[in-house]
Structure 1
């Protein structure tokens, strides 16, 4: 049950980000959205493996986890400037609680790096994806429209 929820969360995130890109005029906001899209795409790869829709491949899983970690590490930098766009899904509270926002990004980075360094089986992907989903949700609940 939990695995399905995490996979659904990742897939819906990827789809909503793709739709949100249409009409974005502020390039800073666009860069943020592109980084989030990349994390969503990588989460989708892991989710497909976890659900058996894609053959498990440790190297591919590691690459997906590393991409998530890389974008999580750059997320605070992407949000340092308080840029806005009508299509932006970032809540203003990010800049009021920036330290917490950055801490949540760092947690996602650590979780993804741990998965990248330890994935050997589809069960590892499932466990790691659960942690990644929880880290994403913790940030999105507070900081995303």
Structure 2
């Protein structure tokens, strides 16, 4: 069981590391990052892509913090885990609105299926939102055993979406 959880945790970290670009936003910096504005005009395709990439970076960083604890690379810190889970859950419903038809031409990482199979994409996003909410609730228990399964479920929702809707390098 522990090896399976470790493997799932490693998979989550690996998958989420592929979510974003080169930018790194730490969960503690999420509020500051959300106040940042893009150089692209508001409402433009480039601004949509930049915003969803920024949000994916937040997920990647929060997952990385939690994944290190799940894998035992860093000691479990209930408050830090809760903060990362909160950050992820609070932002879980935000990137999807930035997958606009206009941004399709500007997005080398999104498969055309994001737009051609929009209902499936929407369902994948809803699964992610539900999984992050469950992780946030589990994190409130304050112990490592309570968060292992929900953390793995977040990773599974990421993987399923990436497999169907993200161009992998």
Range of TM-score over shorter length: 0.7 to 0.9
1:36-71 CA distance string (max 9 Å, x none): 111111111110010112221222222212222233
Distance 2:82 2:14 in 1: 22
RMSD of aligned residue pairs (Cα, Å): 2.1
Distance 1:133 1:16 in 2: 12
5 Å-filtered alignment, 1:113-124, equals 113-119=133-139, 120-124=142-146
Task: Report the counterpart of residue 135 of structure 1 in structure 2.
Answer: 157
Larger Rg: 2
1:17-51 CA distance string (max 9 Å, x none): 45466xxx823212111111111111111100101
Say whether residues 1:70 and 2:101 are aligned partners.
Answer: no
Q: 1:15 to 1:115 in 2, by over 3 A?
A: closer
Q: 1:19 to 1:111 in 2, by over 3 A?
A: closer
Distance 2:4 2:50 in 1: 32
Say whether residues 1:95 and 2:97 are aligned partners.
Answer: no
Say whether residues 1:85 and 2:106 are aligned partners.
Answer: yes
Distance 2:13 2:135 in 1: 19
Structure 1: stretches of 5+ with no match in the other structure: none
**2:10 and 2:71 in contact (8 A); partners too:** no
Q: 1:34 to 1:111 in 2, by over 3 A?
A: same
User: Could you tell me which of 3, 7, 13 is aligned with 2:5?
Assistant: 3
1:65-105 CA distance string (max 9 Å, x none): 2222233211221213441336x311111011122212211
**2:55 and 2:91 in contact (8 A); partners too:** yes
**1:49 and 1:125 in contact (8 A); partners too:** no
Aligned residues: 141
> Please, what TM-score do these two structures have when normalized by structure 2?
0.73
> Please, what TM-score do these two structures have when normalized by structure 1?
0.83
Structure 2: stretches of 5+ with no match in the other structure: 24-39, 41-45
